[in-house]
Chain A
Amino acid sequence: MKRSILHIDINNCYASIECLHRPELNGLPVAVGGSVEARHGIILAKNEIAKRFGVKTGEALWQAKQKCKDLVVVPPNMPLYARFCTLARQIYLEYTDQMEPFGMDEAWLDVTGSGIFGNSEEIAQTIRERIKEELGITVSIGVSFNKVFAKLASDYKKPDAVTVITEHNFKEIVWPLPASDLLFVGRAAAKRLGGYGIHTIGDIARLQPQLLEGILGKWGLMLHAYANGLDSSPVRRITDQPREIKSIGNSTTTPRDIKNNEDVRLVIYMLAESVCTRMRAQGFYAKTVVLSVRDVNLHSFERQCKLENPSCLSGELALKAYELLQKNYNWCNPIRSIGVRACDLMYHDDCLQLDIYTDEEKRVKRECIEKTVDTLRSRFGDTSIQRALLLSDKKLIGLDGKEEQDVFNEYGGDLL
Chain B
Amino acid sequence: MKKVYVDVTASFTRDGVIIPQAIRWEDDHIFYIDRVLDIRRAAAQKTGGAGIRYTCRIAGKEAYLFLEQNRWFVESNR
Contacts and interface: CB of A to CB of B under 8 A. Distances in A.
Interface string A118-151: 0000000000000011111100000000000000
Nearest to B47: A23
B52 to A, nearest CB: 10
B46 A23 contact: yes
B47 A136 contact: no
A22 B2 CA distance: 11
Contacts of B46: 23
Contacts of B49: 20-21, 136
A21 B49 CA distance: 5
B18 interface: no
7 contacts: A20-B43, A20-B45, A21-B49, A23-B48, A84-B50, A87-B50, A136-B49
Interface string B28-49: 0000000000001111111111
A134 B48 CA distance: 12
Nearest to A19: B48
Nearest to A17: B50
Contacts of B43: 20, 132-137
Nearest to B52: A134
B1 to A, nearest CB: 8
A136 B46 CA distance: 10
A201 to B, nearest CB: 37
B50 to A, nearest CB: 5
Nearest to A133: B42
Interface in A7-40: 20-23
Nearest to A132: B43
A22 B47 CA distance: 8
A23 B69 CA distance: 19
A137 B49 CA distance: 10
Contacts of B48: 20-23
Contacts of B42: 133-134
Contacts of B69: 83
A20 B50 contact: yes
Contact of A136 (B1, B40, B45): B45
Nearest to A20: B48
A136 B44 contact: yes
A134 B53 CA distance: 9
A136 B50 CA distance: 7
A134 B44 contact: no
Interface in A245-292: none
A87 B1 CA distance: 26
Given A22-B48, A134-B50, 20 more contacts: A20-B45, A20-B49, A20-B50, A21-B48, A23-B1, A23-B46, A23-B47, A87-B41, A87-B50, A133-B42, A134-B40, A134-B41, A134-B42, A134-B43, A135-B41, A135-B43, A136-B43, A136-B49, A136-B50, A137-B43
A135 B43 CA distance: 5
B5 to A, nearest CB: 14
Contacts of A133: 42-43
A132 B41 CA distance: 11
Interface in B49-74: 49-50, 69
Contacts of A22: 48
A28 to B, nearest CB: 14
A22 B49 CA distance: 8
A127 B9 CA distance: 33
Nearest to A136: B43
Nearest to A18: B48
Nearest to B42: A134
A300 to B, nearest CB: 39
Contacts of B47: 23
Nearest to B40: A134
Contacts of B45: 20, 23, 136
Contacts of B40: 134
A133 B50 CA distance: 10
Most chain B CB within 10 A, of A21, A83, A84, A132, is at A21
Interface string A45-76: 00000000000000000000000000000000
Contacts of A21: 48-49
